[in-house]
Amino acid sequence: MVEYAPILIFLAVATVFPVAALVIARLLRPSRYNKVKSEAYECGVPPSGEARARYPVRFYVIAVLFVVFDVETIFLFPWAARYRALGLFGFVEMLVFLGILIVGYAYAWRKGALEWV
């Protein structure tokens, strides 16, 4: 049972710390709310429109495409640094990787996902 003592201590701390933090925050927080404090803050300008307005899906598609091509760049740097050590296999592997990304890019372009308007 001695072997499990660190795990039990970790679980106890992992349970007690968040609960204690929430209880202390509840006791210390101000509890008087008014309309001005509950309003959304937009740099001193009165809020315009609904806070829960719908955004076009196009924004999310552009964001996902950006992440995909950003990850592509992250994979290209180590490959370029170790290009000579990887030899022909590394070169072919990167060509396959880039080919898959180019097909995805062409598909997104053809579907109009890169059009902003």
Domain ranges of the chain: 2-111
Q: Phi then psi for 42, rounded to 5 degrees?
A: -125, 65
Distance CA 82, CA 90 (A): 9
Distance CA 95, CA 102 (A): 10
Per residue in 56-76, pLDDT (tens digit) is 777 888 888 888 888 888 888
Checking if the pLDDT of 5 tops 90, the result is yes
Contact 75, 97 (CB under 8 A): yes
Q: What is the pLDDT of residue 75?
A: 83
Q: What's the chain's average pLDDT?
A: 85
Q: What is the pLDDT of residue 51?
A: 65
55-61 own/partner pairs: CB under 8 Å, 24+ apart: 58/113, 58/115, 58/116, 61/108, 61/113
Q: pLDDT confidence of 47, banded at 50, 70, 90?
A: low
Which architecture does CATH list for 2-111?
Up-down Bundle (1.20)
Under 8 Å CB-to-CB from 16, ≥6 apart: which residues?
none
